[in-house]
A and B are shown apart, each in its own frame.
Chain A
């Protein structure tokens, strides 16, 4: 067991525990902050898999903006943030069962699919900026450009929904 494996396992554990806390925390702000921890741990996993760029994107986009956006939304909509604010419905036991079953099912499928796979961490180079750049701007150039259209449409949509006054 190398050091990398140990760190990987630790990071994974952190991600799991914090994810669990995201859904069990009874204060919505706490849930959002636990999410930061989860996303950070996952970013760490990416680094260990030699996917630096993906890791940084994860940190910047998810931890940096998505969670911040989430918090802003909570503040702007004046959602109650005190204790108990995250307990939503009485269906929690049912949800637990469903979520548990789903986790098991998906885990089983993943296990069945990738159970014996071994990745040699010295050989993997998929996550480097060069490889990603090459993929995005050659093979996937059209989807990538069209993706910008989604953003533009979303931008227009945001304006439509929020703009006030006369123009």
Chain B
């Protein structure tokens, strides 16, 4: 990555933004968070007495209304922001002082600027559509009220995340979305796989959160503040190594939340959650929080080349990794999840390019939000008609029976593979171009990824909607009700026209005050790259056509497959690695301790008690319940302590 060193980054470009105090419309921006939060509180806590109270009957409407109301506030704010002077588009409103110790204070504030505004629209807009869709999708679920409560909770937490003016407040939102995600993945608790998946998502995310928490600690220690704006100002005076450390720690956080290698393994399992959840949280919004974090911390990354390089590497690896997995999965949601991983890899790659790529990362994030939500909801619609079967090998020829679903899904498909004119075409194209302009290998990875994306998405398309019918006996596919198809239509429309954001460089100019901007000249004219991309995409799609449309699709997945397919099916052995590196040692540790406290444990706890024997036979039981043992422990501890202190002195 030598070519990157030549970039001299002008951090001052965006560090000199001076937030102005909120007035007028902007002083109501806190409503964005407050409305869904209050609604979530009502839905989750209120009316606990009866199972069929009014909240159970109308709770979903309340939740949806809250999301829409929040969206309306977001639109009003956005329009108002358009009317502001460019210099006054970063608006901040202090709500109250959360913490103040000496010179350090954390203010609960709403920080509304160009970047937040786009996110607010994405979150509340797509969120509202998914709420509407869920009314139909969850119509028969007895715990509908709770589901909508969780969704509202998620929206509120996600908005806290993007409206935070302080890293600590951002962390609050970060934890909140993690919690909501955990609760929603495991929403169908009775499914063991769902409970396990929720647990896994939670644990893997903790590793990432650790990075973020330590990063914030480091900021506090170095700068005495955690205000995002002030950190940005201070970091320019800090040493290179501090910026690098901060960048890497934040990257770890971003990897956890955004399912980037090496913390990618939870996302595929997270598909156990209800499909609207996969669409909203695990495709359109929450998983992109990592990208948001990197872009928001632009000031830090601008100063550390090492950190940026790390982001680029993570992005490249993940975009190929996800695409590979997407090729091998027969479960439609998992194929889409692999694709999500891969697309977020693109965003990360773009974000790692520095000011040249931040705007494109956000651009792709938004278009991806549209078309991926669209496709997930489409997949949900298909599953809805197929008795919740997710195996694409059991689909086929659904285009006639589900015309609306088919057409909208097709729009999403064309967008994601980057068919010229569709939104994904513009956003992906920009990223690949910038990647080539900065570093040849990154560009090549992105280009290759585009081809593979075309391949596996075509495969999904063909297996689902074309070919012969391979349904089970008792399945009667049918189009979904209007309440589900209308959001699909809206999202499909957005997938088509979303690319308009970049016309006359609108989004780049819009974001420049936040992210800075920079343009790298390519060695060749831009249209050459575009042509190459389109060609690669065409090759990928044709290959899939030849492989899947021309041949019969076996009902069960063939076992005699290449080593690549096998690896892809096994999520590239991500779990095996996790198990060997983290879980086994962890289990041994826990087991040992279980053994240590013999009196408090019975066999039912974790089922691990009986496994203890071999692993920990030599270990003495410390928590025996005998006073004499305890006294011996105290005595031993005291002896060690005395000797240690004396040894320190003698040494």
Contacts and interface: CB of A to CB of B under 8 A. Distances in A.
Interface of A: 89, 98, 102, 105
A98 B642 contact: no
A98 B639 CA distance: 10
A105 B642 contact: yes
Contacts of B628: 89
Contacts of B639: 102, 105
Contacts of B642: 105
5 contacts: A89-B628, A98-B635, A102-B639, A105-B639, A105-B642
Contacts of A98: 635
Contacts of B635: 98
A49 to B, nearest CB: 27
Interface in B589-647: 628, 635, 639, 642
Nearest to B638: A102
A136 B528 CA distance: 97
Contacts of A102: 639
A102 B635 CA distance: 10
A105 B642 CA distance: 10
B186 to A, nearest CB: 49
Nearest to B642: A105
Contacts of A105: 639, 642
B627 to A, nearest CB: 12
Nearest to A108: B646
Query: Considering the complex of A and B, which 4 residue pairs feature the smallest CB-CB distances, nearest first?
Result: A98-B635, A105-B642, A89-B628, A102-B639
A98 B636 CA distance: 10
A83 B639 CA distance: 34
A105 B639 CA distance: 10
A108 B56 CA distance: 76
A138 B628 CA distance: 41
B620 to A, nearest CB: 14
Nearest to A101: B639
A102 B639 CA distance: 9
A105 B628 CA distance: 22
A102 B632 CA distance: 13
Nearest to B632: A98
A89 B632 CA distance: 14
Contacts of A89: 628
A102 B642 CA distance: 11
A89 B642 CA distance: 27
A27 B131 CA distance: 82
A115 to B, nearest CB: 16
A89 B639 CA distance: 22
A131 B76 CA distance: 84
A84 to B, nearest CB: 20
A92 B628 CA distance: 13
B437 to A, nearest CB: 72
Nearest to A91: B628
Interface in B300-336: none
Nearest to A106: B642
Nearest to A88: B628
B381 to A, nearest CB: 71
A98 B631 CA distance: 13
A99 to B, nearest CB: 10
Interface in B132-167: none
